[in-house]
Amino acid sequence: MTYNIFYNSSSISIMVMEEFHDYTMMFLTMITTFIFIVIYKILVTKNTNYNFKENINLEIIWTILPMIILFLIAYPSLYYLYLFDLSLNPTISMKVIGAQWYWIYEFFDQEGWSYSSYMTSDLDLLKSEKYKIGWRLLETDTRLIIPYSTEVQCITTSMDVIHSFSVPSLGIKIDAIPGRLNSVNFQVTQPGIYYGQCAEICGTGHAFMPISLEAI
């Protein structure tokens, strides 16, 4: 069984985020390199080039070029943003309810089947069987079980204060707000166990309401 904490990309959402990050960093690296070259040339060159400083064609170029770069960054950014909100045909719909300080999972497809998930104490963790032993302060007594390679719709809300359902390795972070339903779709690409935590300060037990998600 694979244990993934924060680094491995194991969902389509986080893969797209990393691809867009690398794409944006390409432009940032080129711009930064160009600026440093110009600054270096100005510092080491004693002569002044008036044709360079008062060149109208050059000013037009470095006015239009940033507009083109912004368009090349904005278009895929908006495309991916709307792609994440697109729900084609989720196979499983579940409801995640945040409470002080544990999570409640409900599955609509299983006739209202629901259960609570609490953090496993250190003593219980040491006593558990080998295949159940996970990370301290991240393992729960009941894991959230979902199938991999399947689109899952996750609807979140809260019973008391604002919580945040966050699994970094899957690119999931969605607020659980009392009296409001937020939704996110995700698809795990490989089986394994993925850990997360509440990402919104929700009281004294905020650090002790982990998320343990197992894709099978």
Q: What is the pLDDT of residues 133-160, one digit of tens each?
A: 667 888 888 888 888 888 888 889 999 8
Mean pLDDT, rounded, of the chain: 83
Question: 107 near 113, Cβ under 8 Å?
Answer: yes
Give me the residue label for tokens 């040339």. 41
Cα separation, 87 vs 152, in Å, equals 9
pLDDT in tens, 52-96: 667 788 888 888 998 999 999 999 888 887 777 666 677 888 899
What percent of the chain shows pLDDT beyond 90? Answer: 22
Tokens coding 86:
């697109």
CB-based contacts of 2: which residues, under 8 Å, 6+ apart? Answer: 8, 190, 191, 192, 193
| Chain centroid offset of residue 200 CA | 14
CA distance linking residue 192 with residue 59, whole number of Å: 54
- In this prediction, residue 114 has a pLDDT band, given cuts at 50, 70 and 90, of confident
Give me the helices (H) in the chain, please. 12-44, 50-53, 56-85, 122-127
105-113: average pLDDT: 75
Dist CA 178 CA 161 (whole Å): 6
Structure tokens at 7: 């680094």
Q: Which range among 41-50, 121-130, 142-151 has the greatest average pLDDT?
A: 142-151
The Cα 184–Cα 179 span in angstroms is 17
Cα 16 to chain centroid distance, Å, stands at 10
Measured over all CA atoms, what is the biggest interatomic distance in the chain, rounded to whole angstroms? 80
| Residue range 121-143: mean pLDDT, rounded | 75
Residues 149-175 as b/e (b if ≥16 CB within 10 A, e otherwise) read eebbbbbbbbeebebbbbbbbbbbebb
